[in-house]
């Protein structure tokens, strides 16, 4: 069952690629969180997803706040207060003692969706409109768009219908990772990659772990014969991301951002097409046999 409580719509677009991709990543993560409980994934996944949302929300807010300071936005202080209030609320969610996990997940998902939509429509669009209204020189205008004028595309990780597995939770998690990669790449093209690379990598590390645990639980539950081989590919990716985390402290961050973005995109697309679809096909055949 596909329950998209956070439905992205064109009217939410700010025109800034980095911010829009981060918003889309948050929307997909909220949908994944909600579907995780509908799929019976349990408290372990719930708490880790809340942590991931908290971390990536922090990355997103820091992106917006740096953007506002760079462009001398007069509403900066008020906007930042709203960010702080949301971060405090998410922390309180993580501390809540709620026996009914479905109820807690539903409460968190709807709160974050309502907050994010209203924040985009009431605050972010106002901020972007200020920057568009004649306050920028040419270089700042390029930064507003999220890329330089020579860049033909910002989405190196383009989600396509052919990547859909048919399992809504897994698809939402994949989409969230795609958007996070695009936001990271957009930050690099706008000269902001150095600021965001480390924190985005940390967030991606956490969320990739959550996603892999989701898939692995499906495989174990369904006695998938390719489980060990599939899991070994997950371990290879975890190791590579950990190496990136170590390298980022010592290497040129602009080049690292390019390497990370392209590696993760290539790996994710091939993994979806080669491994995940094979896994999902097995699940479907098994369900059909059980229903005969």
Per-residue pLDDT tens for 75-106? 999 999 999 988 888 778 767 766 666 777 77
Query: How confident is residue 55, by pLDDT bands cut at 50, 70 and 90?
Result: confident
Q: Extract the tokens encoding 98.
A: 């709620």
pLDDT at 151: 39
Q: Rounded to whole angstroms, how far apart are CA atoms 179 and 20?
A: 9
**227 or 112, which is more confident:** 227
Architecture of domain 10-149+160-291: Up-down Bundle (1.20)
pLDDT at 143: 47
What are 20-41's pLDDT values in tens digits? 888 888 888 777 777 777 766 6
Extended beta strands in the chain, E state: none
Q: Rounded to whole angstroms, how far apart are CA atoms 119 and 111?
A: 12
**pLDDT above 50 (res 152):** no
DSSP state of 91: H
> What value does the mean pLDDT of the chain take?
77
**pLDDT above 50 (res 280):** yes
For the chain, domain boundaries: 10-149+160-291
Q: Whole-prediction pTM value?
A: 0.64
Share of the chain above pLDDT 90, in %: 9
pLDDT at 243: 84
pLDDT at 132: 67
**pLDDT above 60 (res 245):** yes
CA 46 to chain centre: 16
């Amino acid at each position: 069952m596909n329950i998209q409580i956070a439905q992205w719509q064109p009217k939410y677009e700010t025109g800034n690629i980095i911010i829009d991709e981060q918003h889309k990543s948050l929307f997909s993560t909220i949908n994944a969180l909600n579907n995780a409980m509908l799929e019976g994934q349990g408290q372990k996944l719930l708490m880790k997803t809340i942590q991931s949302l908290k971390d990536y929300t922090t990355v997103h807010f820091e992106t917006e706040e740096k953007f506002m300071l760079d462009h001398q936005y007069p509403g900066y202080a008020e906007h930042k207060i709203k960010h702080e209030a949301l971060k405090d609320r998410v922390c309180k969610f993580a501390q809540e003692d709620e026996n009914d996990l479905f109820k807690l997940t539903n409460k968190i998902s709807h709160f974050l969706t309502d907050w994010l939509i209203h924040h985009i429509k009431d605050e972010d669009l106002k901020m972007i409109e200020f920057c568009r209204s004649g306050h920028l020189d040419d270089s700042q205008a390029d930064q507003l768009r999220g890329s330089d004028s020579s860049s033909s595309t910002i989405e190196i990780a383009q989600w396509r219908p052919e990547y859909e597995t048919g399992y809504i939770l897994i698809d939402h998690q994949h989409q969230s990772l795609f958007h996070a990669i695009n936001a990271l790449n957009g930050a690099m093209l706008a000269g902001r990659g150095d600021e965001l690379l480390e924190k985005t990598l940390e967030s991606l590390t956490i969320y990739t772990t959550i996603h892999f645990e989701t898939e692995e639980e499906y495989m174990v539950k369904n006695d998938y014969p390719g489980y060990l081989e599939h899991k070994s590919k997950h371990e290879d990716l975890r190791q590579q991301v950990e190496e990136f985390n170590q390298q980022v402290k010592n290497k040129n961050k602009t080049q690292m951002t390019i390497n990370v973005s392209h590696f993760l995109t290539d790996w994710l697309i091939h993994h979806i097409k080669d491994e995940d679809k094979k896994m999902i096909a097995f699940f479907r055949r098994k369900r059909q046999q059980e229903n005969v």
